[in-house]
Homo-oligomer: A and B are copies of this chain.
């Protein structure tokens, strides 16, 4: 169980964790790799979200997934960029969380191994993402303001005092 005091301070900030879908660049799963190569070169995301025609997240794509397809026996070639589509190279094994998921503990746990978490509604529609960056802002807030909210007493000292009295 997560500390209730920590949870309460983090909850003050958790409303700002979600970056809305409208602010996030995406690619579509049937875009040619050529298009995705240009987008990822310009937006500079480490990974971009891939959507299908229904607006559902179907994968994640990095430049390395594209450039890996450019390697052949003769070296590096641009030909695969017109030959393949995003869905041919994207990663489909990824974690997402539900829009209604307010559980801070789950997010905290999943962000150890994921730089961001895509957020979806009940129909699987893309709603936005939660990033480690926004969480770091909240941790800074927590560490700086915790003592304004709470008096903390070391349990070891409590036990010592009890033993002495």
Contacts of A78 in B (CB 8 A): 75-78
Range of interface residues on A (Cβ < 8 Å) = 35 or more
Whether the pair B143, A149 counts as a contact (CB closer than 8 A) is no
Contacts of A81 in B (CB 8 A): 76
CA distance A152 to B150 in the complex (A): 6
A163 adjacent to chain B (CB < 8 Å):
no
The residue of chain B having its C-beta at the shortest distance from the C-beta of A111 within the complex is B136
Indicate with 1 or 0, residue by residue over A64-90, a CB within 8 angstroms of chain B CB atoms.
Answer: 100110110001111001000000000
Whether the pair A67, B41 counts as a contact (CB closer than 8 A) is yes
Number of copies of this protein chain within its complex: 2
Once A44-B62, A148-B155 are accepted as A-B contacts, the answer to whether A3 and B112 lie under 8 Å apart by CB is no
> Interface residues of A: mostly helix, strand, loop or mixed?
helix
CA distance A145 to B144 in the complex (A): 19
A142 adjacent to chain B (CB < 8 Å):
yes
A147 adjacent to chain B (CB < 8 Å):
yes
A108 adjacent to chain B (CB < 8 Å):
yes
Contacts of A142 in B (CB 8 A): 3, 6
Contacts of A148 in B (CB 8 A): 155
Whether the pair A7, B151 counts as a contact (CB closer than 8 A) is no
For this complex, 13 residue pairs linking A to B, each with C-beta atoms less than 8 Å apart, are A3-B143, A4-B152, A34-B76, A38-B71, A41-B67, A41-B71, A46-B62, A63-B64, A108-B139, A108-B140, A109-B140, A112-B137, A151-B155
